Structure 1
Amino acid sequence: MFIFGLLGLMAASAVVMVGFEEIATGEDDLLPEDPDQIENSEWDGLDIALDGLDPDSLTSSEDQIISGTEDDETILGGAGKDQINGYEGDDSLTGLAGEDHLFGEDGNDLLFGGEGDDVLHGQNGEDTLNGETGDDSLFGHMGNDVLDGGAGSDSLVGGFGADSLVGGEGNDALHGGADDDTLSGGEGGDTLFGGDGQDVIVGADDTGSEADFLNGGDGNDIIVAGSGDWITGGEGLDQFLLDEWSASDQITTITDFDRSEDSLVLVYDGSDLPPEVAVYGLADSPNASGIFVEGVLVATVQGNPDLSAADVSLVQQTTVTELLSA
């Protein structure tokens, strides 16, 4: 029930709180006569009880360590480097400006980093983490979480549970962790690693020219390639999805296709006729094959010099959409 440092390393300062009943500093400090407001104070080890506070709107300014209770709360940071602990309940935590550390802990929490390079931990429950602007680090931990890095070069780790990770703008690193996750890099040159489970990994949501690095990890994964992406399926029965969107000067590279286990799928617009697909050996890569769509090289498959067009399945766009949304 107290405001305190999770790591016990920071001193609370410049606290703005209204309507609390108890102040316990752990030392013989002289407290102000009017306990309804403490502002710009510097007490080491300051603990502030939340009794009497309106738990629906807790705010702080400057550098703060502020914690919730077992109730559902909305807690806002300020312009400083804040640490906000949600504890129990379904909380909404917002760091605002500054390099903040947010901990959802128990409950299904909603976390917003705001401006700055923030660190967000969902912990227990099914949480939603939004890094927003800055180079943020997001950790889902337990539960089926949703992580969105926003703008900046972000790091997202799903942890345990069936998580959804979206990198957003910037050069992001996404790791699904355990279970069946969905990873989407967004704009920028991203690195996506599915980890364990049957993951869906999407590199084809990038309108820029940066190449992504996609790795399915263990499990039977679906990997949707974008132009110029480097793809490794990893262990399991993987599906590699290509499209006419790959037809550019940025050639997709598949590093570990296994004809006995994996599938190559070319997606096309169902309103058009199926495109012409051809597979040839490559003079400059004697241990690889090239996949051509309407005469344009869209992908190379390393370690497979003997591929043929029969190894490539044609699937309509609507069918793939249903598959990915299932």
Structure 2
Amino acid sequence: MTRILTPFGAASTAAEVVAGVDLTGRRIVVTGGASGIGVETARALAGAGAEVTLAVRDLAAGERTAAEIAGAGPVRVAHLDLADQASVAAFVAGWTGPLHVLVNNAGVMAAPETRTPEGWELQFATNHLGHFALTTGLYPALREAAAATGGARIVSVSSSGHLRSPVVFEDIHFERRAYEPWSAYGQSKTANALLAVEATRRWADDGITANALMPGGIRTRLQRHVSEEELEAMRARLANRLTWKNPEQGAATSVLLAVSPLLDGIGGRYFEDCNEAEPTESNSARGVAAYALDPEAAERLWQVSEETLAVLR
């Protein structure tokens, strides 16, 4: 399988990646679109003519962002709390018509041990189960768009944090092992990558492809549970092994996977710095772990996720 390379790199911005791409008539959802790289992702897509829906927990913040980034295409706002499956179901039920691109961008990082009312570990519940329910719920809309235009895409924002942990199927929710916030974050980010692998396997024949990405190191509200001391220590430790970016650069790979013609028909892969990542090396903060692209793990995670959510029906 040939590695996908593009003319863009670590310093590229979302605006540069989308330059020359006409998104008129395309409908796109960006979760977490009111802060961090979500704002810049939405800004670039709206500026190219797409109808962008910001799926956000804080409607007031979403409305402020929508007013700020309004571009050639309309920017809409809808409530979505990924940790609340009823909220996810309501968003899905409220969606009508085709959906050309779903950008699963929202997330929580290194949170203290917290559980949802169902008893699920918060990071896995938010970063993976919420997006899984959203993605599968919007499948008919994605299929409709693909049938009309030849393709629809899912963008799964993962992280180099996935290198901290595979999905520990034997104890996903830290019921029998001691809770460790970075390990919990790591397995949720591995789950993001595996979602792209299995969604592509299941839905490529419908014209739907999915890819995952590492946006780069960016200081945003995602790190609200990370102290400045921890962040500085991280920067020092990873100074030569991680690309630090501003939000406009951090959104570039998301936008590339969302709309670039260079990715037509490509799915089930993991990107960083606007190019397909290579296998990670020992003690590295770059690249992708084999377990994050493992098709057997991806299929197992899909089944486990369906079974987990089935208890709510």
TM-score by structure 1 length? Answer: 0.26
- Return the structure number with greater relative CO, CA threshold 8 A, min gap 6: 2
Q: Which protein is richer in helix relative to its size?
A: 2
Structure with max Cα Rg: 1
Q: Which protein is richer in strand relative to its size?
A: 1
TM-score by structure 2 length? Answer: 0.27
